[in-house]
Structure 1
Amino acid sequence: MENPLLAFTEKGIYCEKAKVYLDPWKPVEKAIISHGHADHSRWGHKQYITHKRNIPIIKHRLGDISATGVAWNESFVVNGVKFSLHPAGHIPGSSQIRVEHKGEVWVFSGDYKAEADGLSTPFEPVSCDSFITECTFGLPAFKWSPQKEVFRDINQWWSENRAEGKTSVLFGYSLGKAQRLLKHLDPSIGKIYTHAAIENMNEVLRSFLTLQETVRITKETKKEELRGNLVLAPPSAHGSTWLRKMVPYETATASGWMAFRGARRRRAVDKGFVLSDHCDWAGLLSSIEATGASRVICTHGYSDIFSRFLREKGYDARTEETQYEGELTEINPTSGAEN
């Protein structure tokens, strides 16, 4: 396709007509950001444009940046190109980015999920000609159970651990996954304690979300206080000396990768719950169909397999390389260290 409205460059997805990048992975003048995860919102851009709910998130993570917030469906024009943001359902404040010029419409989905989680603004399909989709879980083997069933199992696990006098340590990303877990944990079982990285993000999100009461773990927190209760911690806390305070404890991870046989053993956790903030195979297909797009560009994940399937279904589908990571360990955007 000659002179596409959006092109994949060494710095990121670029709209040349507007001189704007979407979720660029190298520093640029002007960037439109889909959401706050570190692989999509990176440090170093001169100007950031994102959903207004994402402003406090990226400022917490990136520091003193020049950022402008817009509302859902609010159009803004840059050099004659019309942009708007639409709910992606991935995490709080996550957006799809719609780009329109002379009747041609592209949508960059960022990361998204089709199932409403009760926390994030639910995903809304946006009609377009070309759709850029992630493929994090783009294999038929990935099929999510309704989250109601998953949280029933999580709360049962916690309840059983409490009966045995053990602390339940549940690992989930500090932004998005941790708050989704918190939303659906049963507070009648016991107290919910948090690692500092998660509680710091909770404090940011409480400016626009109602979250359950939590207790921050500090140096003064006694082991006896934690026993029988639940601790939310980021994946980076696994295997750390910080966990010694939890003894005796049981560990669990909430991730889409828990659908893989052997994933729990490889991550050295006692329990795995299949819970993802990305679409499964069916969710990807139904979401793409709902856009009405004829052209689909597949990015991070199982992009080769997924794009080949789409071509067999009659789509004009291809793959493009990006530096997005999907559902992997979060990386601190400035230091390269886990957070």
Structure 2
Amino acid sequence: MSKTPLLIFNSKGIYCKQADVYIDAWKPVDKCIVTHGHADHSRWGHKQYITHTNNVPIIKHRLGEIIVTGKNWGETFTINGVTFSLHPAGHIVASSQVRVEYKGEVWVFTGDFKTENDGIAEPFELVKCNTFITECTFGLPAFTWTPQAEVFKDINNWWAANQAEHKTSVLFGYSLGKAQRLLKHLDPSIGKIYTHGAIENMTDVLRSNYQFHETTRITRDTKKEELLGNIVLAPPSAHGGTWIRKMVPYVTANASGWMTFRGARRRRAIDRGFVLSDHSDWDGLLSTVKETGCEKVIATHGYTEIFSRYLREEMGLDARTEKTQYEEEGSESSKKEAEEDV
């Protein structure tokens, strides 16, 4: 008789029956370990939350009054004989992998992860395991990231060129994670950095634990003359709305892994696309799987079928997929665009 897996997937999320604990549950549960603050992984309605200490203010900001316990990196805590610990995922600030050990068997759930050190998120830590549960948002060979130093050089050069033409640079990135990464690497010697309210609010929450350049919130009183030649960080949802009219004349750009494909930029009516992702590329995914030393892999979201098939056929691993409700905003439509462009 085969034993019950240490972690199982059910209608509420990823469940450890022995400890009666969920990880990144997508429906309300009694106790949930949360890997990071993005809305698809940190849902409202759990009775108790466990997460990294630096993620506590993030999820409180997003979810309101919740009962939450913060843990440090590598700090072990045991529930009914099962030992848990959190390890940096490198995805965004305060993002974790969850290591789960019971009777000598080790599982690791990555949540979302990035192997490149971006200079703001805690760097990814490789964790050895028997079973590895991984995302594969960009699990296609076509996704190969340029080193971020080159990307940020291009972004700052783009800003400087727009400034020479007396235009406002509007750069889109998600309000948690991407926006702070952009902010960290923008060159303030070029001009002032302005922010959309959603980005400013989240950045304010993070300033107690992380260092960022000075920013100026855009308000109703901000004049478009103040913005000329400077840069504005805004969430993608701000594009096409009345808010952006204040920026005229402006040039737009989006920083995303989906900018790999020309159709993604065209369909969004974006002037410039910078390929910059908070997820691992194809090589990063493969090298991480190999270096964990795992025998089994479960692919949870992204190009799961393609990625798991490659692991089985080319690497000889026991790899399968599981359906979840984890999905980066806009990624379903972006995936369709990517497949059309491949």
TM-score, normalisation: structure 1: 0.96
Equivalent in the alignment of 2:322: 320
Identity, in percent, stands at 72
Give the partner amino acid of 2:170: V
**1:138·1:305 contact (CA, 8 Å) conserved in 2?**
yes
**1:88·1:95 contact (CA, 8 Å) conserved in 2?**
yes
- Using the alignment, how far apart are the partners of 1:188 and 1:327 within structure 2? 32
Structure 1 residues 39-50: aligned runs within 5 Å:
39-50=40-51
RMSD: 1.1
Deviations 1:308-328 (A, max 9, x none): 000011100000000000363
- Using the alignment, how far apart are the partners of 2:240 and 2:283 within structure 1? 35
- Using the alignment, how far apart are the partners of 1:44 and 1:319 within structure 2? 27
Structure 1 residues 311 and 327: alpha-carbon distance in aligned structure 2, compared to 1, 3 A threshold:
farther
Unmatched segments (≥5 aa) in structure 1: 330-339
Deviations 1:2-48 (A, max 9, x none): 41000000000000000000000000000000000000000000000
Equivalent in the alignment of 1:11: 12
Q: Would you say 1:203 and 2:231 are equivalent positions?
A: no
**Offset of residue 262 of structure 1:** 1.4
**Offset of residue 207 of structure 1:** 1.0
Equivalent in the alignment of 1:106: 107
**Offset of residue 287 of structure 1:** 1.0
TM-score, normalisation: structure 2: 0.95
Q: Would you say 1:229 and 2:230 are equivalent positions?
A: yes
Secondary structure, aligned partner of 1:262: helix
- Using the alignment, how far apart are the partners of 2:268 and 2:289 within structure 1? 32
- Using the alignment, how far apart are the partners of 1:270 and 1:192 within structure 2? 19
- Using the alignment, how far apart are the partners of 1:289 and 1:35 within structure 2? 24
**1:301·1:326 contact (CA, 8 Å) conserved in 2?**
no
Secondary structure, aligned partner of 2:212: coil
Secondary structure, aligned partner of 2:262: coil
Give the partner amino acid of 1:129: N
Q: Would you say 1:154 and 2:155 are equivalent positions?
A: yes
Q: Would you say 1:277 and 2:249 are equivalent positions?
A: no
**1:111·1:326 contact (CA, 8 Å) conserved in 2?**
no
**Offset of residue 225 of structure 1:** 0.3
- Using the alignment, how far apart are the partners of 2:112 and 2:119 within structure 1? 17
**Offset of residue 290 of structure 1:** 1.4
Structure 1 residues 56-75: aligned runs within 5 Å:
56-75=57-76
- Using the alignment, how far apart are the partners of 1:191 and 1:62 within structure 2? 31
Equivalent in the alignment of 2:334: none
Q: Would you say 1:212 and 2:224 are equivalent positions?
A: no
Equivalent in the alignment of 1:336: none
**1:30·1:46 contact (CA, 8 Å) conserved in 2?**
yes
Aligned residues: 330
Deviations 1:227-283 (A, max 9, x none): 110000001101010001000000000000000121110111000000000000000
- Using the alignment, how far apart are the partners of 2:81 and 2:132 within structure 1? 21
Give the partner amino acid of 1:171: F
**1:136·1:327 contact (CA, 8 Å) conserved in 2?**
no
Structure 1 residues 152 and 327: alpha-carbon distance in aligned structure 2, compared to 1, 3 A threshold:
farther
Equivalent in the alignment of 1:177: 178
Give the partner amino acid of 1:323: Q
**1:193·1:216 contact (CA, 8 Å) conserved in 2?**
yes
Secondary structure, aligned partner of 2:278: coil
Give the partner amino acid of 2:317: Y
- Using the alignment, how far apart are the partners of 1:261 and 1:241 within structure 2? 26
Unmatched segments (≥5 aa) in structure 2: 332-342
**Offset of residue 288 of structure 1:** 1.1
Equivalent in the alignment of 1:84: 85
Give the partner amino acid of 2:18: K
Give the partner amino acid of 1:140: P
